[in-house]
């Protein structure tokens, strides 16, 4: 479904992502691990179209994404949940999620973000989808509350609901478990496993290597922007280069 070839991005003199080639199959759950600064978030931002590569290509279903902007990629079904919590303040939890249904169009995104009036039938449809997404992540009881009143764990769930509301084909999760308590982590891991079972293609960046090992079909390991290992969780975990990269952190 997704293939990157020779993907590179540098900031000043530092290569954040260097000559990365990887292929993710439809329905796969791919774990992406690596020490801090390995280039994991940069890779996701390149795929989602929030950054432009210096070199290399990204193909979705065999078609190059080229210079397609982020909202165009969202329309093709690429959804990203960012590492840092991003909720729209001054909006309810439900309104925050409804923004996700419009991420695929620039106009729609702003219509939702600014809460401009919309055709009421369309509005109801999107509201239903938002409520379904909220139910999926266990936030039904929070729908009418201000988004900024949510504890961190629920803000994460909110972002996940927003991504799901758009009906994605490829879900990019950037350290979704960071800052969560043990029980919240378990609930999140269960939800990710469920989405995977439902056939969603997922790329998961996570610091919690045990969680990735449990969930992923395959794992790609990045270090200093390069792929240093790629394979089944068992193979990757015992790879001496992986052990060295983590011990060197």
The closest of 226, 228, 225, 227 to 240, measured between CA atoms, is: 228
Of 20 and 93, nearer to Mg ion (C-beta) is: 20
- Distance in angstroms (rounded) separating the CA atoms of residues 77 and 87: 21
- Distance in angstroms (rounded) separating the CA atoms of residues 48 and 1: 14
Site for Mg ion in 61-100 (CB under 5 A): 83
Of 14 and 243, nearer to ligand ADP (C-beta) is: 14
Distances (CA, A) of 96 to 105, 108, 111, 176, 203: 16, 13, 12, 18, 23
- Nearest distance in Å: CB 168, ligand ADP: 21
Is 41 a binding residue for Mg ion by CB under 5 A? The answer is yes
The secondary structure element, H or E, covering residue 244 is helix 240-247
Among 2, 22, 38, 203, binds ligand ADP (CB under 6 A): 38
Is 40 a binding residue for ligand ADP by CB under 6 A? The answer is yes
CB 22 within 8 A of CB 227: yes
- Distance in angstroms (rounded) separating the CA atoms of residues 80 and 20: 19
Of 83 and 111, nearer to Mg ion (C-beta) is: 83
Is 45 a binding residue for Mg ion by CB under 5 A? The answer is no
Distances (CA, A) of 137 to 15, 41, 141, 142: 36, 23, 11, 11
DSSP state of 225: T
DSSP state of 94: H
- Hey, is 248 helix, strand or coil? coil
The closest of 173, 177, 174, 175 to 189, measured between CA atoms, is: 177
Of 14 and 125, nearer to Mg ion (C-beta) is: 14
**Pattern 42-71, ligand ADP, x by CB under 6 A:** x-----------------------------
Residue by residue, DSSP assigns 30-75 as: EEEE-STTSSHHHHHHHHHTSS--SEEEEEETTEE-TT--HHHHHH
Question: What is the chain's length?
Answer: 249
- Nearest distance in Å: CB 131, ligand ADP: 33
Is 14 a binding residue for ligand ADP by CB under 6 A? The answer is yes
Of 190 and 249, nearer to ligand ADP (C-beta) is: 249
Of 31 and 39, nearer to ligand ADP (C-beta) is: 39
The one segment of 38-46, 145-153, 159-167, 210-218 that binds ligand ADP by CB under 6 A: 38-46
DSSP state of 140: G
- Nearest distance in Å: CB 207, ligand ADP: 9
Is 104 a binding residue for ligand ADP by CB under 6 A? The answer is no
Among Mg ion, ligand ADP, none, what binds residue 104 when CB lies within 5 to 8 Å by partner kind? none
- Nearest distance in Å: CB 208, ligand ADP: 14
Of 93 and 205, nearer to ligand ADP (C-beta) is: 205
Using CB under 6 A, list all residues that contact ligand ADP: 11, 14, 16, 34, 36-42
């Amino acid at each position: 479904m997704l293939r990157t070839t020779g993907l590179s991005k540098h900031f000043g003199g530092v290569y954040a992502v260097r000559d990365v080639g990887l292929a993710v199959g439809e329905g796969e759950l791919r774990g992406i691990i690596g020490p801090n600064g390995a280039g994991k978030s940069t890779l996701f931002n390149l795929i989602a179209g929030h950054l432009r590569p210096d070199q290399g290509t990204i193909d979705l279903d065999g078609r190059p994404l080229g210079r397609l902007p982020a909202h165009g990629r969202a329309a093709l079904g690429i959804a990203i949940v960012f590492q840092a919590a991003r909720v729209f303040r001054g909006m309810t939890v439900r309104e925050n999620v409804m923004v996700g249904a419009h991420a695929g169009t620039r106009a729609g995104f702003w219509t939702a973000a600014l809460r401009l009036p919309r055709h009421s039938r369309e509005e109801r449809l999107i509201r239903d989808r938002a409520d379904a997404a909220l139910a999926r992540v266990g936030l039904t009881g929070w729908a009418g509350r201000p988004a900024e009143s949510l504890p961190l764990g629920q803000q994460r769930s909110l972002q996940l609901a927003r991504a799901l509301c758009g009906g994605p084909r490829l879900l990019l999760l950037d350290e979704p478990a960071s800052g969560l308590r043990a029980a919240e982590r378990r609930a999140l891991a269960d939800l990710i496993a469920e989405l995977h079972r439902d056939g969603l293609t997922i790329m998961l960046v996570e610091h919690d290597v045990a969680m990735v090992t449990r969930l992923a079909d395959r794992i790609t390991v990045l270090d200093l922007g390069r792929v240093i290992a790629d394979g089944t969780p068992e193979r990757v975990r015992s790879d001496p280069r992986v052990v060295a990269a983590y011990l060197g952190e």
